[in-house]
A = this chain, B = another copy of it.
Amino acid sequence: MEPIKATGYFFTGPNLAFEKKEFEINSLADDEVIVQVAGCGLCHTDISFLTGQVKTKHELPLILGHEISGTVIQTGKHAEQFKATKVVIPAVLPCGDCDICHSGRDNVCQAQLMPGNDFHGGFATHIKVPAQHLCVLPEPLGDIKLASFSVVADAMTTPYQSLKRSNLKDGDVAIVIGVGGVGTYMVQHGKNIGATIIALDIDEKKLAHAKTMGASHTICVKGMAEHEVKKAVRTLVKENSLKKFGWKVFEMSGTAPGQMVAFSLLSFAGTLGVIGFTMEKVNIRLSNVMAFDADVFGNWGCSPKYYIDVVNDVLTGKINVVDNVEEHPLDDINKIIPLALEHKLEKRVIFTP
């Protein structure tokens, strides 16, 4: 193959600025492709790597970034059908051939690979990836930039997998706790299925945005105790003659207080989805799950098989991506990261090389 000259931002150690470096891609396996990156989203997981809270599986230095869209510019012998296609690279790449994959739970395949964790990711001009699970975008893309599709990986598909797992239906009550970069898509997926969405957050601005994304009701829970939140939700449900049981609660905040509120909102035949992640423990009466005949689930990313559904929802306007992302040149990455650390970003950041 013709070697590819690429540039990437390398993570060299906790709390250090990324190092810009050129590198060369000069080999390609039969089942791999090289993607010219159009955009790569900045995810909470990248921040966890950056602060040293979570360790990458691959040794450092490593290029982070796992929400990637781009154009295939070279293909291995067995991946020629991907030539010149525009793609989203799934954040989780299952092996496709183990017992877990065969059981339909490929998003937790134990041999899975994750860009920007197991191998060089998307904060770069180019990336080499296995072709098997690439999500090929149906063209034309209309008004939506190729870079914007990057957030399909993870931010948009993880809550879609949650939707599937929760079995949310038309007419159900969905309570979304935390309507930030991922929660805002949970609101949209739930709305698209016909559920009534109650959005909870501690930030009035995010709640106002959630309303424009399809939330029917919002409650600012800042400073409220769990029992006060529960009372407020119950009052709202009563006043609006919504279903009194079987609530589906989606915990997207990834905080212990968020999880405590979420658990306290379990109702008869209710469901709690744990989607946000925190290392913190919570003190809960687990037996409530029994007393309420309830379900709790969590999902690790999303199976690549669902990506195309979400892409189609973006293309048909059922999912609004434009108002939920902001683009920045990749060369500004070391300026943007501090803003992310200080929670000063209002929208999902996409870096464009």
List 7 A-B pairs, Cβ < 8 Å: A103-B246, A105-B246, A274-B287, A276-B287, A281-B283, A292-B298, A292-B300
Report A153 CB to chain B, min CB distance, Å: 17
Report A76 CB to chain B, min CB distance, Å: 30
User: Is A108 close to B, CB under 8 A?
Assistant: yes
| Residue of A107, A282, A291, A293 with highest tally of chain B CB at under 10 A | A293
The size bracket of the interface on A is 35 or more
Q: Report the Cα distance A269→B254, complex, angstroms.
A: 20
Q: Report the Cα distance A82→B285, complex, angstroms.
A: 42
Q: Which residues of A (54-69) have their CB < 8 Å from a CB of B?
A: none
Q: Which residues of A (257-308) have their CB < 8 Å from a CB of B?
A: 259, 263, 268-269, 274-300
Report A237 CB to chain B, min CB distance, Å: 14
A290-B298, A290-B299, A293-B300 given; name 9 further pairs at CB < 8 Å.
Answer: A105-B268, A274-B286, A281-B286, A282-B286, A288-B298, A289-B298, A290-B300, A294-B297, A296-B297
Do residues B298 and A275 form an inter-chain contact, with CB atoms below 8 A?
A: no
Given contacts A100-B268, A285-B281, A286-B282, contact A292 B108 (CB under 8 A): yes
Q: Report the Cα distance A221→B26, complex, angstroms.
A: 55
Set of chain B residues within 8 Å of A284, measured between Cβ atoms: 281-282, 284, 286
Number of copies: 2
Across the interface, A275 reaches (CB within 8 A) one of B108, B243, B245, B290, namely B290
Q: Report the Cα distance A42→B278, complex, angstroms.
A: 43
Report the nearest B residue to A288, measured CB to CB: B298
A contact set with B: CB distance below 8 Å: 99-100, 103, 105, 107-108, 110, 243, 245-246, 254, 259, 263, 268-269, 274-300
Do residues B293 and A296 form an inter-chain contact, with CB atoms below 8 A?
A: no
Set of chain B residues within 8 Å of A289, measured between Cβ atoms: 274, 296-298
Q: Report the Cα distance A336→B302, complex, angstroms.
A: 54
Do residues A296 and B299 form an inter-chain contact, with CB atoms below 8 A?
A: no
Report A159 CB to chain B, min CB distance, Å: 12
Set of chain B residues within 8 Å of A103, measured between Cβ atoms: 246, 269
Q: Report the Cα distance A293→B92, complex, angstroms.
A: 13
Do residues A108 and B300 form an inter-chain contact, with CB atoms below 8 A?
A: no
Set of chain B residues within 8 Å of A300, measured between Cβ atoms: 290-293
Given contacts A274-B287, A279-B285, contact A295 B293 (CB under 8 A): no
Report A283 CB to chain B, min CB distance, Å: 5
